[in-house]
């Protein structure tokens, strides 16, 4: 069986970008889990992307596989891209390089050094590119996009943009309350449908053209597809991209949790 993989950072400017990322002076350790290192991207860095996605920040699964949007949010996003006929020609970056701890202060979020580094990635991925649609997940990502759009390269690059609700916003906003979760999910899917209707006509070159089918009022089968092996580093086992929920932060208090990631191979993988 062949195992395609993502070779990662093999060309400029990415080779340089991943060697000179901002650290604790820009991402304060009171607001970010900088101790786990930055996680940069997922998807195509070779110029073949038609859709650029800006997410928020990496969590525990992303920290292990060293690619972003690899957990629940990533799988929901993958289903969204599939509805647009985009199965391969995408590239994803985050608003923040490090995992958010608590909340991010406005001064940090708008730190010119933080913004400038992210804009170098957006310049590299957009200027002169074939990207036809931009998708931002959540408010911080929407702001990140506006900050790039305000730059000279951003102004000179007209592209369709949809700012949609973050994929796991229903879970974070409903805090375990089932009726709230159902309401928030329905609202998210309406919001996502509006985004699909905005981006679909702009995508002249999807990988697998298909008629646009909108979401219903709840998640359905196929809305959380496994992520393709080709997005991940060589040698990672299939369960790391086909499943989620296998990495947790465990510990008796906040500091212990912050110091920990516990990985458990899903049931059924070991014969």
| Residue ranges in contact with a second copy by CB under 8 A | 1-5, 7-10, 15, 18-21, 23, 29, 35-40, 64, 66, 233-237, 239-240, 250, 255, 258-265, 269-271
Q: Tokens at residue 269, please?
A: 């993988």
For the beta carbon of residue 114, count every other beta carbon within 10 angstroms.
Answer: 20
179 vs 268, beta carbon nearer a second copy: 268
* Partner residues linked to 32 by β-bridges: 100
Single out the residue of 181, 178, 139, 134 nearest to residue 154, CA to CA: 134
8 vs 153, beta carbon nearer a second copy: 8
Q: What's the CA gap between 265 and 178, in Å, rounded?
A: 28
Q: Nearest distance from residue 66's CB to a second copy, in Å?
A: 6
The phi and psi torsions of 81 (rounded to 5 degrees) equal: -65, -35
127 vs 234, beta carbon nearer a second copy: 234
Q: Nearest distance from residue 242's CB to a second copy, in Å?
A: 13
Q: Nearest distance from residue 77's CB to a second copy, in Å?
A: 21
Q: What is the CA radius of gyration of the chain?
A: 18
Q: What's the CA gap between 18 and 182, in Å, rounded?
A: 40
38 vs 206, beta carbon nearer a second copy: 38
Strands laid side by side in the 41-43 sheet: 41-43, 90-94, 51-55, 133-137, 160-164
H/E element, 94: strand 90-94
13 vs 37, beta carbon nearer a second copy: 37
Q: Nearest distance from residue 22's CB to a second copy, in Å?
A: 10
Q: Nearest distance from residue 19's CB to a second copy, in Å?
A: 5
117 vs 219, beta carbon nearer a second copy: 117
Contact of 172 with 137, CB cutoff 8 Å: no
Q: Nearest distance from residue 8's CB to a second copy, in Å?
A: 6
70 vs 199, beta carbon nearer a second copy: 70
Q: Nearest distance from residue 250's CB to a second copy, in Å?
A: 8
Torsion, CA 134, CA 138, CA 141, CA 143, rounded to 10: 100
* Partner residues linked to 93 by β-bridges: 41, 54
């Amino acid at each position: 069986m062949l195992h395609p993989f993502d070779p990662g950072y093999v060309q400029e400017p990415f080779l340089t970008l991943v060697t000179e990322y901002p650290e604790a002076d820009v991402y304060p350790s009171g607001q970010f889990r900088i101790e786990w290192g930055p996680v940069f991207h997922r998807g195509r860095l070779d110029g073949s992307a038609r859709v650029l996605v800006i997410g928020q920040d990496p969590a525990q699964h992303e920290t292990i596989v060293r690619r972003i949007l690899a957990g629940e949010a990533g799988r929901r996003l993958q289903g969204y891209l599939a509805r647009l006929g985009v199965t391969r020609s995408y590239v994803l970056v985050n608003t923040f390089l490090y995992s958010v701890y608590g909340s991010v202060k406005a001064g940090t979020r708008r730190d010119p050094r933080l913004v400038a580094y992210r804009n170098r990635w957006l310049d590299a991925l957009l200027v002169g590119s074939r990207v036809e649609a931009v998708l931002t997940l959540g408010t911080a990502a929407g702001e990140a996009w506006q900050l790039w759009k305000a730059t000279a390269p951003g102004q000179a690059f007209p592209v369709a943009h949809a700012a949609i609700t973050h994929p796991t916003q229903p879970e974070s906003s409903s805090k375990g309350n089932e009726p709230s979760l159902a309401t928030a999910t329905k609202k998210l899917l309406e919001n996502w449908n509006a985004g699909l209707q905005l981006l679909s006509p702009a995508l002249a070159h999807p990988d697998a053209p298909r008629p646009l089918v909108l979401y219903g009022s709840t998640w359905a089968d196929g809305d959380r597809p496994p992520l393709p092996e080709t997005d991940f580093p060589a040698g990672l086992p299939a369960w790391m991209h086909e499943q989620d929920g296998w990495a947790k932060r465990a510990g008796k208090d906040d500091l212990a949790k912050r110091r920990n990631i516990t990985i458990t191979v899903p049931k059924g993988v070991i014969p």
